Homo-oligomer: A and B are copies of this chain.
Amino acid sequence: MINIPFNKPYLTGKELFYIEDAVKKGKISGNGYYTQLCQKYFESKYGFNKCLLTTSCTDALEMAAILIDIKEGDEVIMPSYTFVSTANAFVLRGAKIVFADSRLDHPGIDEDQLESLITSKTKAIVPVHYAGVACDMDKIMNLANQYGLYVIEDAAQAIDSFYTGKDGIKKALGSIGHLAAFSFHETKNIISGEGGMLAINDRKFAERAEIIWEKGTNRSAFFRGEVDKYGWVDIGSSFLPSEIIAAFLWAQLENLEDIQQVRIAHWENYHQKLQEWTSDNLIQLPVIPSYATNNGHMFYLICKNLKQRTTIIDNLKSEGILSVFHYISLHRSQFYKGKNFNTVLKQTDIFSDCLLRLPMYYELKVEDVIYKITEK
């Protein structure tokens, strides 16, 4: 019997009210009032040049792959310790995925290893801001500029998190690469069940992004009066979510500050009160590099080995608490191995075996989890 789940979706209060309002407005298909409200919110709050809501973060990554014109044989560099969609979005367009190892201190991509993976076929780097913690974007953007590569930030977990580069300017994650993808999946800080967003920072992509989003048609330009009829002009898909989803999301956004405050407090509580227990058990606490911020998305531990992790999961489960491991490294997947690539990624394997995520959600009584962990 699980009393404390790993995740619990949080209703801020006005979700159903806004959904009803969307229906009353006579439009619940995509790109309506609430979609535009959410997009403008993100653009103005985080400095993204243009935002488009999508049905998932996966779809936002697929839009990015189409926008940078991925073709058969192009190579895309990304960490192996990530969700399958980071890779599949590019594989769908014909890319070969080149996996990089994780950092020593963090599951994020090892920035210093990237240059050795670049070939004449490399088209893009996809850094994943794991747990909402920034990759070292100065290093990545410099490399990309040097080799003429695109950078697509997988910011699925990184809403309301920031990076401060050598210029001292604090920038929102997702505002630095040419393109960035966010998730509003129910396990994220800000949710709409399934949902995502593409942030378009390089202005040259803005017009085509809108076309690809609207099923390959110039429908958006038509509704702005820029063309007198709309039709099929490009490839594309139905990437835009229902207004029902956007209305739900808007209620979440109105409470973003509160949600963030509560989650960060949970995180700090965990971090502070698990110091002694983790030290005694040779477990590592998460590290936030000085250039990054903590957005309270996830609290994880790095266990000393797989056996210890399994024991902790089992112990917590017997107390009604659900803690979970995370990715099975993509370079070890059936799909990738079937392609006969031989890739050895030591740090990735460690995080795959040893990383453990503790419950994290708005209504969590974090003290209850800490008590049950430390009393063992």
Contacts and interface: CB of A to CB of B under 8 A. Distances in A.
A236 B9 contact: no
Interface string A217-240: 100000000000111111111101
B232 A84 contact: yes
A323 interface: no
A84 B30 contact: no
Nearest to A55: B55
Contacts of A236: 88
Interface stretch (A143-151, A167-175, A191-199): A191-199
Contacts of A84: 215-217, 231-232
A189 to B, nearest CB: 14
Interface residues of A, number: 63
Given A84-B217, A216-B84, A194 B242 contact: yes
A11 interface: yes
A309 B58 CA distance: 42
A315 interface: no
A19 B9 CA distance: 13
Given A29-B185, A238-B194, A233 B335 contact: yes
A282 interface: no
Contact of A232 (B8, B59, B88): B88
B29 A216 contact: no
A87 interface: yes
B231 A328 contact: yes
A161 interface: no
Nearest to A184: B242
A92 interface: yes
A330 B232 contact: yes
A334 B233 contact: yes
B85 A215 contact: yes
A333 interface: yes
A29 B245 CA distance: 11
Given A23-B9, A232-B335, A244 B193 contact: yes
Interface in A16-31: 16, 19-20, 22-23, 26-30
Nearest to A57: B238
Interface in A88-102: 88-89, 91-92
Interface of A: 5, 8-9, 11, 15-16, 19-20, 22-23, 26-30, 55-59, 62, 83-85, 87-89, 91-92, 185-187, 191-195, 215-217, 229-238, 240-245, 248, 328, 330, 333-336
15 contacts: A8-B26, A15-B23, A27-B186, A30-B194, A55-B56, A59-B238, A62-B237, A84-B216, A84-B217, A87-B232, A194-B240, A194-B241, A216-B335, A230-B328, A232-B336
Given A55-B194, A85-B215, A85-B237, 14 more contacts: A8-B26, A9-B26, A29-B186, A55-B241, A59-B237, A84-B216, A88-B216, A194-B242, A229-B328, A230-B328, A231-B335, A232-B333, A232-B334, A233-B335
